[in-house]
Amino acid sequence: MTLAEMIARAQETLRQAIAARRTAQDALMALRIDPNLTEEAVTERRTARDEADAAVTRAQADLAELEEEQRRENEVAELAARTEPTGNRAPAYDRVARVGAEERTYRQDQDPRGATFERDVAAAFFGDYEARDRLSRHMQEERTERGDQLRAVGTGAFAGLIVPQYLTDLYAPAVAANRPFADAIRQHQLPAQGMQVNISRITTATSVALQASENSDVSETNIDDTLMSIPVQTAAGRQTMSRQSIERGAGTESIVLDDLFRRYATNLDSTLINQSTTGLSAVATSVTYTDSTPTTAELYPKVIEGLAGVEAALLDQASGDNIAVMHSRRWYWMQNAMGTSYPMITQPGVVAQTLGANYATRYGSGVRGILPNGTPVIVDNNIATTLGTNDNEDEIYLGDRNEHHLWEDPSAPMFIRAEQPKVESLGVVLVVYGYFAYTHARYAHARKISGTGLAAPTFAGA
């Protein structure tokens, strides 16, 4: 595990510790207003809160130690670069022995927007051998770190290159819904060849029954399966830029590339939800909520009905890791609710006097909160808001996280920079593309809440 991966893990541990501490504090505050308050109960909740505090402190210290180590590593690397004799050219990537980790050719801390990578791609077309050498080293690094995952991508003509991994997470100024749902579901590596993924599904099960009498025939049903073929799809986008805008502009190419990455992620996620026939909205079984004056309290039983349907469909194949996926307008509308009635059955991690919990995390950061029964909420604005007879409804999706499957090419998204097709007009074509496949229907389990009760919400006071 690299130091950067250790830091990422420590950051996630700290985030979870903070969330646990917040839950413990909420529980303590809720107990203090309980008319049946006992000293023992307060002591128990205070102890839980203090233990959560200590966990936050430990996680914070661990993260600080790793970050200090990373800072020192960067400092030493910069010092080594400054003290290297200028007369000695560094040996080629494949002609030097290494112990431990070596700095990557293209690094986020030195080139966060990928300008160096893009300049090298452009320079390679004009025969710049040093640029070609850097790109070759980058491709070798990718094969070394992810060789078991990546396709055999040639670099001779530099027509298709693997984009440095950190660049796929960059943000351009234009907003995007991105891929909250795609990131939350079960991930698989796309097979190396073929334009479909095949899964065998048992459609006729064996049977067991009570034997009618001694020596009589026992129950027998021939097991049978059906091949489920899932198509591999291609998401792609391009942008033609003038050479003047690239050569005379300031960072224009990197801005366009950043935006293409984000449109790619948004398109993939939207396809998973909205594609006709196979998208989540198309395959989910409807739980209708019809109401001209909807409230969160009236909507919540529909959520429970949907989750009951999910479990009934999966039975022993249910992982129990259910999720609720909704538009941000629906999540905030639910937070707007006020009431005096509380669930009669408490749930782990949820204060009894509240209707779920909001984790106060930003859009696209994973779980945004939990519903009263503990179901995590994923907020995704790729969900349509123009559904229903009046074109103003959205939907809430419920399902088992592990039964929403996404296969992605580990090299995706790929980047092509082509100058020849538009050379007569001094144009440069940038293309971003990738392959993926998905299914929500290995088991027909997903549910969606839909109907007039999910029309555009109004945010009114109690």
pLDDT of amino acid 33? 61
Distance CA(333)–CA(338), nearest Å, equals: 11
The pTM of this model reads 0.65
pLDDT digits (tens, 9 = 90+) for 214-226: 999 999 999 998 8
pLDDT digits (tens, 9 = 90+) for 400-423: 999 999 999 888 888 888 888 787
Nearest CA to 290 among 398, 397, 389?
389
- At position 200, the amino acid (one-letter code) is S
Looking at the chain, the whole-number percentage of residues with pLDDT higher than 70 is 80
Rg (CA), the chain: 27
Average pLDDT, the chain: 81
Set out the domains of the chain in order of their start, with CATH numbers: 3-83 (1.10.287), 110-168 (no CATH), 171-462 (3.30.2400.10)
Query: Mean per-residue pLDDT for 174-193?
Result: 90
pLDDT of amino acid 46? 82
* pLDDT of residue 460 exceeding 50: yes
For the stretch 29-32, contacts whose Cβ atoms lie closer than 8 Å and that sit 24 or more positions apart, written own/partner, are: 30/351, 30/352, 30/353, 30/354
Higher-pLDDT residue of 28, 73: 73
Question: Are 94 and 237 contacting, i.e. CB atoms less than 8 angstroms apart?
Answer: no
